[in-house]
């Protein structure tokens, strides 16, 4: 009984800290809104209406949260294994680029082969791009932060600078458009499918401005799988043990190298899926700028979600809502970069409030002695 009440207590503290840092970030954000001579109330209500004001807004909030949930997971999983993956950006680019090339290169495959092939190829290459720093860390003791930073920039050179230039067929900085057979299901096309069009509320989705696609559900599935992996399997237990105390885990007979490489490979594959979805679902080609800093926002998402897969879903939804609502703010004359500032502030406050958590834990430890 006590075990459960402790667990609930720690979840509540985590949730409280996350909420507190969001609220503080929004309050500090008002300072920047004042600089633009607009009222913060107008700005935040525009933000809210933009994100949740209509069915279309909500659907697009889900759409925008998709890559953020995935990159958030890609940061959260290695974090549990004691690793800091700031290479989600590069893994996303490599995955997206691979999916884009597979998507346009094969012209006569049926959908049920082409689409899964493109998704798996993208996830695999993303996984390699994540697994490489894992390997370097495990075998040669190269710090994963530096390795992933370097790999991010190598990925930019390979895909955006070089890859697009060799494949592009028009003036647009993008690879050629993918085949119909490789594209992900978009909810706005729901009426084209007789089976789905009979579902209740199906007509709500049939608006051209709705951009939600199936990758959102793949992201949710990925979160559940990672939750299961982390908390219900031996492998996940080993990863968390390595993160908690690598030497202790080694002493207890856990192969730390294996845990590190696996965690980084899976994380790369998940980040790769973020890129895959952007290419096969959103842009229908690999296009310059599609990464949009998702890899770095993913760090904020993972932290606000307390690096728990379910928390990451909530964090991703929050940041997706900020991004979607930011557009509406832009229309009312407030720079949407406010959203970026709020994201950065959230990171500061989550990081600073972790210290508060350490303080709470210490106080509790002291209380035990009395």
Partner 1 sequence: MDILRQIFSLSLILASFRFATPLILAALGGIFSERSGVVNIALEGMMLIGAFAAVYGSASTGNPWIGVLYSMIAGLSFAAILALVCVTFKANQIVVATGINIFASGITIFLLQVLFGVKGTSPIVNRLPAFRVLGVRFNPITYIALILVPVVWFIFFKTHWGLRIRSIGEHPAAADTLGINVNRWRFVSVLISGVLAGLAGAHLSIGDGSAFVREMSAGRGFIALAAMIFGKWHPFGAFGAAMLFGFAEAIAVRVDFPFIPSELISAIPYVLTLVVLAGFFGKSTPPAASGEPYYKGEK
Residues that bind partner 1 (CB under 8 A): 32, 35-36, 84, 86, 136, 140, 142-143, 145-147, 149-154, 156-158, 161-162, 165-166, 293, 296-297, 299-300, 303, 335, 337-341, 343-345, 347-348, 350-352, 354-355
Closest to partner 1 by CB, 24 or 341 = 341
Closest to partner 1 by CB, 178 or 299 = 299
Minimum CB separation of residue 151 from partner 1 in Å reads 7
DSSP 248-311: HHHHTT--HHHHHHHHHHHHHHHHHHHHHHIIIIIISS-BTTTTTTHHHHHHHHHHHTTT-HHH
Minimum CB separation of residue 276 from partner 1 in Å reads 23
**Strand runs labelled E in the chain:** none
Closest to partner 1 by CB, 26 or 58 = 26
Minimum CB separation of residue 210 from partner 1 in Å reads 27
Cα 270 to Cα 74, 331, 351: the distances in Å are 6, 33, 24
CB neighbours of residue 243 within 10 Å: 21
Closest to partner 1 by CB, 144 or 278 = 144
CB neighbours of residue 117 within 10 Å: 17
DSSP, res 172: S
Minimum CB separation of residue 346 from partner 1 in Å reads 8
Minimum CB separation of residue 353 from partner 1 in Å reads 9
- CA pair distance 284, 329, nearest whole angstrom: 27
Closest to partner 1 by CB, 29 or 126 = 29
Closest to partner 1 by CB, 280 or 345 = 345
Minimum CB separation of residue 359 from partner 1 in Å reads 10
- CA pair distance 150, 111, nearest whole angstrom: 36
Minimum CB separation of residue 100 from partner 1 in Å reads 17
DSSP, res 254: -
Residue that has been written with the tokens 């690096």 in this structure: 307
Minimum CB separation of residue 120 from partner 1 in Å reads 26
CA angle (140, 257, 293) in 5-degree steps: 75
Q: What are the beta bridge partners of residue 287?
A: 174
**Strand runs labelled E in 47-121:** none
Minimum CB separation of residue 164 from partner 1 in Å reads 9
Instruction: Find all residues with CB under 8 Å of 241, minimum gap 6, and list them.
Output: 248, 249, 252, 254, 259
Closest to partner 1 by CB, 27 or 199 = 27
Q: Is the distance from CB of 210 to CB of 56 less than 8 angstroms?
A: yes
Burial of 220 (0-12, 13-18, 19+ CB in 10 A): middle
Q: Is the distance from CB of 22 to CB of 353 less than 8 angstroms?
A: no
Closest to partner 1 by CB, 183 or 297 = 297
Closest to partner 1 by CB, 226 or 338 = 338
**Strand runs labelled E in 61-135:** none
């Amino acid at each position: 009984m006590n075990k459960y009440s402790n667990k609930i207590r720690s979840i509540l503290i985590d949730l409280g800290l996350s909420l507190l840092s969001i609220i503080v970030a929004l309050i500090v954000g008002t300072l920047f809104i004042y600089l633009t001579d607009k009222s913060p109330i107008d700005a935040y209500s525009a933000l809210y209406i933009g994100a949740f004001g209509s069915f279309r807004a909500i659907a697009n909030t889900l759409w925008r949260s998709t890559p953020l949930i995935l990159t958030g997971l890609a940061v959260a999983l290695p974090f549990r294994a004691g690793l800091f993956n700031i290479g989600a950006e590069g893994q996303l680019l490599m995955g997206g680029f691979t999916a884009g090339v597979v998507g346009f290169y094969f012209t006569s495959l049926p959908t049920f082969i082409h689409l899964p092939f493109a998704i798996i190829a993208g996830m695999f290459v993303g996984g390699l791009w994540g697994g490489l720093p894992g390997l370097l860390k495990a075998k040669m003791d190269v710090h994963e932060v530096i390795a992933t930073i370097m790999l991010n920039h190598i990925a930019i050179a390979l895909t955006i600078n070089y890859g697009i230039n060799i494949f592009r067929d028009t003036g647009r900085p993008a690879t050629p458009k993918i085949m119909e057979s490789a594209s992900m299901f978009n909810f706005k096309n729901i009426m084209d499918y007789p089976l789905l069009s009979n579902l209740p509320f199906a007509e709500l989705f049939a608006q051209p401005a709705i951009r939600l696609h199936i990758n959102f559900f793949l992201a949710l599935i990925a979160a559940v799988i990672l939750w299961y992996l982390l908390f219900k399997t031996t492998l996940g237990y080993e990863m968390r043990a390595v993160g908690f105390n690598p030497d202790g885990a080694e002493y207890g007979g856990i192969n730390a190298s294996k845990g590190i490489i696996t965690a980084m490979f899976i994380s790369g594959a998940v980040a790769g899926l973020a890129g895959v979805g952007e290419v096969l679902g959103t842009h229908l080609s690999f296009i310059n700028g599609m990464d949009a800093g998702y890899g770095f926002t993913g760090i904020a998402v993972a932290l606000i979600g307390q690096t728990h897969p379910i928390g990451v879903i909530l964090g991703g939804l929050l940041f997706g809502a900020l991004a979607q609502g930011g557009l509406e703010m832009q229309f009312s004359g407030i720079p949407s970069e406010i959203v970026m500032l709020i994201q950065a502030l959230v990171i500061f406050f989550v990081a600073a409030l972790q210290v508060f958590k350490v303080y709470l834990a210490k106080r509790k430890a002291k209380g035990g002695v009395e």
